[in-house]
């Protein structure tokens, strides 16, 4: 089982580089499942129906989210209509059912779970308790392949999740900081891990935003509206191989590609 996971798609530049590279990536890696974090897909905050449809055409099967998932009001309707559109299930009681999904791939079912960290986030429940509930529940009890996106500010929260669930989930990928880390590895117990996959957007920016606008806010204290940076975008992702019989990962490969 091969999974391609695309890090935080940021605005139109991120969607554009996905469009330009997806056919090449599908041909090169032949993934059975493509997952993308799309909480910033529309203007850097949230995902509209139009962006969802645009990215679905490119072959993305499951969408994860984060603290900006609710940035577009239509996402609630979209999640009700499409259970493959996720948001962190521990963000609130109202969203718990949207935090996981089982994808029936040709290699067998794989459970995708989306959680958010507690540090520097609005009051959210424990991601550890939520993940425990989900993977121990009836719907995922017999699903041996389990993929987790933890959207968190603190590297320690992501590392803690790995130590608590090492060998019990197949993959843990970190998102949110938009900066890729150099610690991709597979543990002895068979869990593939990376602290942060990075961002699919304009690298010569401030986490995807126009530097001039962000600097004006920093220097003056005035809350100027943010603008997505323009320019050449980079796709950041990981490719993970999972043994469908055991649920153990065998490899994880970070990617950075420009169109």
Catalytic residues: 68
Sign of the CA dihedral running 8, 14, 18, 21: negative
Q: What is the three-state SS of 108-143? A: EEEEEEEEECCCCCCCCCCHHHHHHHHHCCCCCCCC
Q: Which residues pair with 235 in a beta bridge?
A: 257
**CB count in 10 Å sphere of residue 160:** 16
Residues 38, 55: contact at Cβ < 8 Å?
yes
What is d(CA 238, CA 206) in angstroms, rounded to the nearest whole number? 22
Cα torsion for 138, 127, 195, 183, to the nearest 10°?
Answer: -60
For 62, the token pair is 């499951």
Looking up tokens 């910033």, which residue turns up? 40
Rg of the chain's alpha carbons, rounded to an integer?
17
**CB count in 10 Å sphere of residue 182:** 7
**CB count in 10 Å sphere of residue 190:** 19
User: Of 103, 43, 35, 37, nearest to 67 (Cα)?
Assistant: 37
Residues 59, 22: contact at Cβ < 8 Å?
yes
Decide: helix, strand or coil at residue 211.
helix
């Amino acid at each position: 089982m091969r999974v391609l996971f695309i890090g935080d798609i940021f605005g139109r530049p991120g969607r554009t580089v996905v469009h330009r590279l997806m056919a090449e990536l599908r041909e090169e890696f032949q993934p059975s499942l493509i997952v993308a974090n799309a909480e910033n897909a529309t203007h850097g905050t949230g995902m509209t129906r139009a962006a969802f449809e645009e990215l679905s055409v490119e072959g993305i099967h499951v969408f994860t989210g984060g603290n900006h998932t609710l940035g577009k009001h239509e996402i609630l309707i979209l999640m009700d209509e499409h259970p493959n559109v996720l948001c962190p299930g521990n963000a609130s009681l109202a969203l718990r059912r949207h935090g996981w999904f089982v994808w029936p791939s040709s290699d067998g079912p794989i459970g995708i779970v989306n959680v958010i960290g507690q540090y520097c986030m609005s009051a959210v429940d424990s991601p550890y308790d939520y993940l425990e509930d989900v993977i121990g529940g009836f719907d995922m009890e017999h699903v041996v392949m389990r993929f987790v996106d933890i959207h968190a500010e603190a590297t320690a929260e992501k590392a803690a999740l790995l130590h608590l669930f090492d060998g019990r989930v197949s993959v843990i990928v970190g998102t949110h900081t938009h900066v890729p880390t150099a610690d991709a590895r597979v543990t002895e117990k068979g869990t593939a891990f990376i602290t942060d996959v990075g961002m699919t957007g304009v690298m010569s920016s401030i986490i995807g935003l126009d530097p001039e606008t962000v600097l004006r806010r920093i220097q003056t204290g005035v809350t100027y509206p943010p603008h997505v940076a323009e320019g050449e975008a980079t796709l950041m992702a990981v490719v993970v191989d999972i043994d469908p019989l055991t649920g153990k990962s065998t490899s994880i490969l970070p990617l950075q590609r420009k169109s």
